[in-house]
Structure 1
């Protein structure tokens, strides 16, 4: 991958203006801001999920407590010093800044809530995968991170868990529901969604997600409909202007199982920072182990510096643990490997 151009701000006397550090507590999220831009713009460029609406200081959704440093208020024309209550959209940093915004959560820290969603569309994506689009009456009341999942709550049935395929910026929630003809529980979910037109959700869940734009190259590995989690992450990174290289490895049994291959290929073609590697088994054998090995070999063949990347994996526990063990042997520190499997199916 080629590195992109580096933008350098210049002052009137042509001296470069260096970005300054911004820290948001209690989430301990850090990013950089340019001295001539407002803090809301800098936060959103870094992919931080700050609430906002009007961008002129009226709605007060982007309110924060300035706990360290100074900012210039573009509305009053005055410098404000900590401690102070500020609106991010109206304040430019005058050096390193510390902010307290309790509504901004670190990865996986949002408290799940139950919400009634309207089913606005169900569209087949392949022979057994459906795109389900859900609308929430008060979408702004829900916050989640790219890569998290939700549970569908049906009467007289255990919760059904699905990755959120849409990014936190989008109004609708998108799910990819695999419902093969012989999979009765999944078929019932599709039938209920079609017949009832609404469904109770519990959202969000999951630790393997992004609270801000990564500061290291990112490796995404998905098997089957694990692609839904990766779609949320890629949409989020594209909206945030991520400058780090991203690789997506998607493994399936058969070509027809790669239900949104054209979308992944478009991401690949649109940016030299994004690489899509499809891995197809072309095998009717239901034993996934061979396909797991093939997917892991493809990831290892990328030749990355495994000590300097972040990895997010989505798939069955055997696939995830096979991948984690192989990458650890190749030099990856275990703390940079993220998968929800580690939470719901820990090894004994």
Structure 2
């Protein structure tokens, strides 16, 4: 039988509430991974038992011994196929923004300048499989005798190392201290993950990603994550900066546009000819409003200063965007009174 004619089943994961579709020809782990659900695994052959789940309801098949799995029994998702709609219990799979922050000591793998004031930092956790986070979340760097410094994670959750983009101009004392510490030290104490403006699975609507400055780091995490799934939704990235040299990975974003048919990139640069940069991100907001998006059928993720985020949010809600489709961590750490 052609696989396109095989039935597909809905799989629900508790307590996260995440749902996805599993075809009869795929194991539950592969089907979950294809839509970006982060089920822990190592071996994919039923030995490591990291992808263990408990069957709450429905009918499933153990593909190793071809036996039907009884309700209430444990199963390995890599060795299980759906025979009906399923409900599973997997405590290791968390809903978006629900991962509890944990402290880790990370090894500093690399620190390098990628623009006149932005550094790319690469960190390695000795026990990477113990860490679960979602695309779009952020972390805290904890230096001795200093307040935590927060930075967006720029890498996908599936990557073995953690990438950061840190803007550290000479007059930004706290960020410069972090770069100095990372450059001179072999390890650093971090705490993660933080943030609710993230993705735990493939989106159901087209995405608009809007970043100002190093807010691009959060969007890079989202894009890298989505490119590793079977995402069929369109994704459009707006990246606003004051000067051409501030768009530190413009070539990367342009390459995404060439390689990924569903993706488009619109740079918004203050010193482009005929542009008028107001200092309050009005130009970026205008570019988003002029995009022609169907505001009733889109999901928006924004990273930037509170002033930019709230200006954009007000404009999009007035244009018809439902409030529950606007996501930004600013709404959590800098709420309006």
Q: TM-score range by the shorter chain?
A: over 0.9
Counterpart position of 1:65: 54
Q: In structure 2, how many angstroms separate the alpha carbons of the residues matched to 1:56 and 1:142?
A: 22
Structure 2 unmatched ranges of 5 or more = none
Counterpart position of 1:106: 95
Contact 1:245–1:273 (CA under 8 A) maintained in structure 2: yes
Q: In structure 2, how many angstroms separate the alpha carbons of the residues matched to 1:188 and 1:347?
A: 30
2:329 aligned with 1:340, yes or no? Answer: yes
Q: Secondary structure at the match of 1:64?
A: strand
Q: Secondary structure at the match of 2:226?
A: helix
Q: In structure 1, how many angstroms separate the alpha carbons of the residues matched to 2:229 and 2:66?
A: 29
Deviations for 1:88-108, whole angstroms, at most 9, x for unmatched residues?
Answer: 001110011110001100011
2:225 aligned with 1:233, yes or no? Answer: no
Counterpart position of 1:312: 301
Runs of 4+ displaced beyond 3 Å: 287-291
Cα deviation, residue 241, structure 1: 2.5
Counterpart position of 2:211: 222
Counterpart position of 2:168: 179
2:67 aligned with 1:78, yes or no? Answer: yes
1:245 to 218, 229, 234: 234
2:192 to 197, 200, 203: 203
Q: In structure 1, how many angstroms separate the alpha carbons of the residues matched to 2:91 and 2:47?
A: 20
Residue pairs, 1:1-348, within 5 angstroms? 10=2, 16-282=5-271, 290-348=279-337
TM-score normalised over the length of structure 1? 0.93
| The 10-residue stretch of structure 1 (288-297 or 109-118) with the greater mean CA deviation from structure 2 | 288-297
Q: Secondary structure at the match of 1:240?
A: coil
Q: Secondary structure at the match of 1:61?
A: coil
Cα deviation, residue 291, structure 1: 4.9
Cα deviation, residue 288, structure 1: 7.6
Cα deviation, residue 184, structure 1: 1.9
Q: In structure 2, how many angstroms separate the alpha carbons of the residues matched to 1:152 and 1:288?
A: 32
TM-score normalised over the length of structure 2? 0.96
Question: Cα RMSD (Å) of the superposition?
Answer: 1.4
Change in CA separation of 1:168 and 1:37 when aligned onto 2, cut-off 3 Å:
same
Q: Secondary structure at the match of 2:252?
A: helix
Count of aligned pairs:
334
Q: In structure 2, how many angstroms separate the alpha carbons of the residues matched to 1:271 and 1:89?
A: 28
